[in-house]
Amino acid sequence: MLLVIDVGNTNIVLGIYKGTELLDHWRISTDRLRTTDEYGVLIRNLFFWNEISADSIDAVIISSVVPPIMPTLERMCQRYFGISPLVIGPGVKTGMDIRYDNPREVGADRIVNAVAAYDKYGGPVIIVDFGTATTFCAVDGKGAYLGGSICPGVGISTEALVQRTAKLPRIELRRTDGVICHNTVESMQAGVFYGFVGQVEGIVARMRKELGGNAKVVATGGLAVVLSPATGAIDVVEPMLTLEGLRIIYERNC
């Protein structure tokens, strides 16, 4: 079986594949201070409680946007699974032409998402990933990764609003009935929620125009299921898009 690991700035998402079937997946916090042993024990405990044998793992693939944590995770894979992981980076076959000024600058998660979206839906396709940052990526009809846009994520923006004002409280992200609200909490919720909906609609419309066609829009990330019902700009939500991309890339390399 294949263990796939997607390391984000806020969370690490793990999944186990048997062939093309995703058997299970988990989300844990990204903690740069955790040791090799702490990550090893945590992940093996997740396996234990879900009745998965660690000995059944034949391979590991990792994508990461947090370079300092990688030596710890690579040692964890070697010590607790006896496997040297395949790490997304230069030299790894993605099957995708990357038309970025410097391909090394592109976040591994953006490429992995693009691979999965194009494999499933063809192109042109736009991928919106609601993570710590909200990223918009474009793939043309021939499967070339063109680039995209990067915006502050919902969590970052909301936290900045709270920290830089004296009286505004922390809020739960929630869709309000409208944008003319009658108390501070709902006013903030409306501003954040519909502000990001407007951002998605605006950037997607411009990307579609630049692509010169009716590109399909695929959303992923933790908040995709929350925001997507409020807009017609998103065609489909794929919560496990990154894990699926890791599986595809592993198969192309091994």
Q: What does the pLDDT read at residue 22?
A: 96
Asked if 3 and 81 count as a contact pair (C-beta separation under 8 A), the reply is yes
Would you write out the chain's pLDDT as a tens digit for each of its 254 residues? 999 999 999 999 999 999 999 999 999 999 999 999 999 999 999 998 888 888 899 999 999 999 999 999 999 999 999 999 999 998 899 999 999 999 889 999 999 999 999 999 998 999 999 999 999 999 999 999 999 999 999 999 999 999 999 999 999 999 999 999 999 999 999 999 999 999 999 999 999 999 998 899 999 998 899 999 999 999 999 999 999 999 999 999 98
Angle at 50 between CA 44 and CA 55, to 5 degrees: 45
From residue 166, alpha-carbon distances to 27, 57, 101, 169 in Å are: 33, 51, 42, 9
User: pLDDT digits over 164-179, tens only?
Assistant: 999 999 999 999 999 9
Q: What does the pLDDT read at residue 222?
A: 84
For helices 184-211 and 154-163, what crossing angle results, to 10°? Answer: 140
Known binding positions: 6-13, 100, 107-110, 129, 132, 184
Known binding positions for substrate: 100, 107-110, 184
Task: State the pTM of this model.
Answer: 0.92
The C-alpha atoms of residue 254 and residue 251 are separated, in whole angstroms, by: 5
- Domain spans of the chain, in order of start: 2-87, 97-247
Say whether 97-247 and 2-87 share the same fold.
Answer: yes
Asked if 83 and 57 count as a contact pair (C-beta separation under 8 A), the reply is yes
User: pLDDT digits over 111-135, tens only?
Assistant: 999 999 999 999 899 999 999 999 9
Q: What does the pLDDT read at residue 90?
A: 86
Asked if 196 and 230 count as a contact pair (C-beta separation under 8 A), the reply is no
Q: What does the pLDDT read at residue 54?
A: 87
Written as six digits, the tokens of 25 are 């997946």
Backbone φ, ψ for residue 233 (5° rounding): -75, -20
Known binding positions for K(+): 129
What is the DSSP code string of 42-65? HHHHHHHHTT--GGG--EEEEEES
Give me the residues paired with residue 15 across strands: 4, 25
228: which DSSP letter?
Answer: G
Please identify, in words, the CATH class of the domain defined by 2-87: alpha beta
Q: What does the pLDDT read at residue 231?
A: 95
**How is the beta sheet containing 21-29 ordered, strand by strand?**
21-29, 11-18, 2-7, 59-64, 86-87
Does domain 97-247 bear CATH number 3.30.420.40? yes
Q: What does the pLDDT read at residue 199?
A: 97
User: What own/partner pairs with CB < 8 Å and gap ≥ 24 does 24-27 have?
Assistant: 24/50, 24/52, 25/240, 25/243
Helix, strand, coil share (%) of the chain residues, nearest 5: 40, 25, 35
Give the residue numbers annotated as catalytic, written as ranges: 109
